[in-house]
Structure 1
């Protein structure tokens, strides 16, 4: 409880000035980025800043019309940009489509400098399911990004071979919920219909969203250990901050009015979340030697998560390893 309150305070109030913004970001010409969920919210702001600095940015999203509208809007804001914006179809809630999305990108590019797993759902309508029948939050926030990233590891490795050390990165979206809404150890398990352990789904687990965000912290640490060090790719996770985005659009259905009022008191403009994410993806402060699996907090600085989660990430057979092994098993037929 004490650590959670400390995290709430340090990541919500009296926050320092962002160190990397559109005002001091270097030219990004020649760089290729994928920002998932960038048709709206924080991802949109990230894509806009990168494009303004001449990067080639893939707007990875489920709905083509919304993505194309976002592309038109960003181009209108930055008419002098020499960058490019491309739509990449990506539905993280349907595992059967993700390989085709990765292959589409690979057919169009031979480099990828940063994969920002920004997309996610928060508080969807009760009972929402992904296309494979699992809780929508787990499919969209855990399994989808896991599979998409695994399929892009080869191009990330190849890109890293020709770039300055530690500059090719994968970032995973955490949240203050990592500290405040995940159970001890980060995840909860149950026996599935086949008798094997599986993630406890949203019907019985009040920590579903927190679990999905803790999972992304575990991905950063475990991918860093398994792939990052040998591939030369830096994996990290971030809490973008408490932001006034459309992630809260279903809150009225599930939270009392006092809770909604308290949350809105904590919210900041979404562009500040973009500063956090851009720091995770581009800041020279982060190095391959010291910051593999790092956790970035608002508005772009190194932080940490609860001690029990750090311990599980460090264990040889902790919850981080168990989660990644489970994701490997669940997604192998779609890889």
Structure 2
């Protein structure tokens, strides 16, 4: 595990970049990027803007997303610009998720790739969602699963005519999985407390949960031609550290990379043929920064998958969000 952690603190340079997704190459494709108004989500939008795709920037603040759209559009003179659209999505409130998916479905018949990028990390103890669910697992796992479930018809429609392995769900992991998640990835006695009690552990558990959801989605939806993959974008200087002490950040910054590097990890997870080949083997692919296909360093998570823990977590999430479907 030490080697896996070390390789993610000091990852190799990206080998898959925007040059591998050239201008005009995604005309007719439809994407959703959650949390796209800032950080690595915005960097991914910038990379994809010249491709000609239709890209939905999903988030809570219409004004912030519209400002991001204006920023991207004004900084590019691409001859095949993407169509950028706002999609309201509040992962903090399960009562809104179905309406967000319905708003997308009213405009599009298919969905080629969704990057479940939005989330929270390291939030203070006591953090909860609108439904009083522990904040990290609620926002990072439960709401994204509900949103993705609601979009399954559009993903299936895209897969009917798309090339093999190109329709994808990209979930977001973290180095915190290896560093701070409990044995087996999850301990329900902490998830069910109703509030964050240990921010590092609870965040890491939610990221392990994302890995489980990626593996389970591959098992459940692979038969439809849908590829599911979990990626760790890398240790990046984003607002995920906004709750950390200033003195700590002076030290942590030395190990952080610019958000664009995380955008390359997400680009790789969304487009490289290596991921599709891995999924054909029946495995849940994991992507390390900045675009390296390699297993997660926590072997106990793979044992947990074999024991049915990923399916168990999927069912636990469904039970919680069932009243809001």
| TM over 0.5, shorter chain | yes
1:6 correspondence with 2:3: yes
Residue 126 of structure 1 deviates from its aligned partner by 3.1
Q: After TM superposition, list the pairs within 5 Å mapping 1:275-290 onto structure 2.
A: 275-287=264-276, 288-290=279-281
Residue 149 of structure 1 deviates from its aligned partner by 0.8
1:308 to 281, 291, 300: 300
1:299 correspondence with 2:290: yes
Q: What residue number does 1:130 align with?
A: 129
Give the number of aligned pairs: 319
1:92 correspondence with 2:85: no
Q: Distance in 2 between matches of 1:84 and 1:189?
A: 42
Q: What residue number does 2:318 align with?
A: 328
RMSD between superposed Cα atoms in Å? 1.7
Q: Distance in 2 between matches of 1:326 and 1:216?
A: 13
**Structure 1: stretches of 5+ with no match in the other structure:** 192-196
Q: What residue number does 1:52 align with?
A: 50
Would the aligned equivalents of 1:189 and 1:200 in 2 still touch at CA under 8 Å?
Answer: no
| Deviation >4 Å, runs of 4+ | none
Q: After TM superposition, list the pairs within 5 Å mapping 1:219-298 onto structure 2.
A: 219-227=213-221, 229-252=222-245, 257=247, 259-287=248-276, 288-290=279-281, 292-298=283-289
Residue 79 of structure 1 deviates from its aligned partner by 2.9
**Structure 2: stretches of 5+ with no match in the other structure:** none
Q: After TM superposition, list the pairs within 5 Å mapping 1:20-169 onto structure 2.
A: 20-26=16-22, 27-80=25-78, 81-169=80-168
Q: Distance in 1 between matches of 2:170 and 2:193?
A: 23
**3-state SS in 1 of match to 2:95:** helix
Q: What residue number does 1:209 align with?
A: 203
Q: Distance in 2 between matches of 1:223 and 1:86?
A: 26
Q: What residue number does 1:18 align with?
A: 14
**3-state SS in 2 of match to 1:129:** coil
TM-score, normalized by length of structure 2? Answer: 0.93
Would the aligned equivalents of 1:156 and 1:233 in 2 still touch at CA under 8 Å?
Answer: yes
TM-score, normalized by length of structure 1? Answer: 0.91
Would the aligned equivalents of 1:7 and 1:176 in 2 still touch at CA under 8 Å?
Answer: no
Spell out, residue by residue over 1:140-163, the C-alpha distance to the aligned partner (whole angstroms, 9 max, x if none). 111111110111112101110100
Spell out, residue by residue over 1:30-53, the C-alpha distance to the aligned partner (whole angstroms, 9 max, x if none). 111000000000000111111122
More helix by share: 2
Q: What residue number does 1:194 align with?
A: none
**3-state SS in 2 of match to 1:11:** helix
